[in-house]
Amino acid sequence: MLNSLQTRDVRLYCANGMELAGLVRLFTPREGVSMRKYRLPILGLLPAFEATARHRSMQKAALEMSLSRQAISQQIVKLEQQVGRAVFKRLPNRLILTAGGETLLSAVDVAFSHIQRAVRQMNGRQKPERLILSVDPDFASLWLVPRLAEFYASVPDTVVEIVAENDISSQRRPTVHCAIRYAPAGVEFENVELLFRSRLFPVCSAALARTLPVKTVRDLGRHVLLHDRSMREWKEYLDSYGARADVDPRKGIVFSKSALCLEAAVRGQGVAMGDDFLAATYLAEGRLIRPFDSSLRSRNAYYFLVPAGAAKHPAVASFRSWLFSNVGRRRAKVAAV
């Protein structure tokens, strides 16, 4: 790089003519030489990083790229040296992206997706791609659909199809490109990433709380309990606070969808079990309130799954980056409260 620069010695003076310092050496581009617009790591290292991050495995990345595991490892190390920080945490049986690695992966996913789309257009393959998302119905209605326009703006040439379903085996269908599932925390699927795990707490309308105050857990005994899918969450919550003697979790109304349960709570029909993620919009808009602060960590979690055959779909990479980025921002806001 120094070969592209020339030096000049100058003197610096104040407005009153006093000299500030002795000779100062300035480096400026030589005549006819322009500086690079982008300062990037060696681009040839990024495919190995993207494949390793997607598989969470150097061995699987090596198989995909027809390289040795050692070659992939060397490229990752070289990339980390160039960016000045680690992009993976090396655990005994798996790799985890660091915060810096997540940031880099989001940028690389979007860049690769745009490049692939541009190449397809140059080759005359302008038929819109189809991205089929199999999504838990509650996640789809309460979180994904209200934000879908933001994602679609980043992939305008893609037909996005959302299939709302609970079937855990649906991601094995060849037509499904990725899935979001609600399942017991700690469950192991192939090609799965933990999206988030919520905390549960009672929610109700402000009008209901004014009519019949809910100031402690034991006050719930005077209210109708609204159950989401089953009575288990209320039972576990009451057990954790020793309130089973005052509140019977076997009574109330059971809904098959979280959205229906929360809507009933908005209309003052009882007290529902909300969470810090899917109920966030209701709480932010004041349609629901938390009558007290006690909470319980959910035994379930949301997962993001990509079937092996769909991993290279360009829109899948864009959707994953957008999804994890938005969920991460929401979780950060929750943690800051």
Are 40-127 and 199-297 the same fold in CATH? Answer: no
Cα–Cα distance between 143 and 323 in angstroms, integer?
11
Bridge-based pairing of strands 225-228 and 199-203 is unpaired
Class of domain 40-127: mainly alpha
Which residues in 243-289 belong to E strands, given as ranges?
253-255, 271-275
- Written out in words, the top-level CATH class of the domain with range 199-297 is alpha beta
Distance, in Å, from the CA atom of 148 to the CA atom of 141, rounded to the nearest integer, reads 10
CA–CA distance from 148 to each of 113, 127, 141, 282 (Å)? 18, 22, 10, 18
Using DSSP, state whether 247 is helix, strand or coil.
coil
CA 56 to CA 58: how far, in whole Å? 7
Residue spans per domain, the chain: 40-127, 128-194+300-337, 199-297
Phi then psi dihedrals of residue 190, to 5 deg: -80, 140
Nearest alpha-carbon partner for 49 in 34, 65, 37, 25? 65
Written as six digits, the tokens of 103 are: 């940031």
- Dig out the tokens for 241 from the structure: 């606070």
Tens digit of each residue's pLDDT, the chain (337 residues):
445 445 455 454 445 554 544 444 444 455 555 556 667 767 889 999 988 988 888 998 898 889 999 999 999 999 999 888 999 999 888 888 888 888 888 788 778 877 776 776 676 655 667 889 999 999 999 999 988 888 888 777 788 999 999 876 665 666 888 999 999 998 777 788 899 999 999 999 999 999 998 999 999 999 999 999 889 999 999 998 887 778 889 999 999 999 999 999 999 999 999 998 899 889 989 999 999 988 999 999 999 998 877 767 778 888 888 898 888 887 776 666 5
Instruction: Considering the domain delimited by 128-194+300-337, tell me its CATH architecture.
Output: 3-Layer(aba) Sandwich (3.40)
Q: Could you tell me if 146 and 285 are in contact, meaning their C-beta atoms sit under 8 angstroms apart?
A: no
For the whole model, what pTM was predicted? 0.66
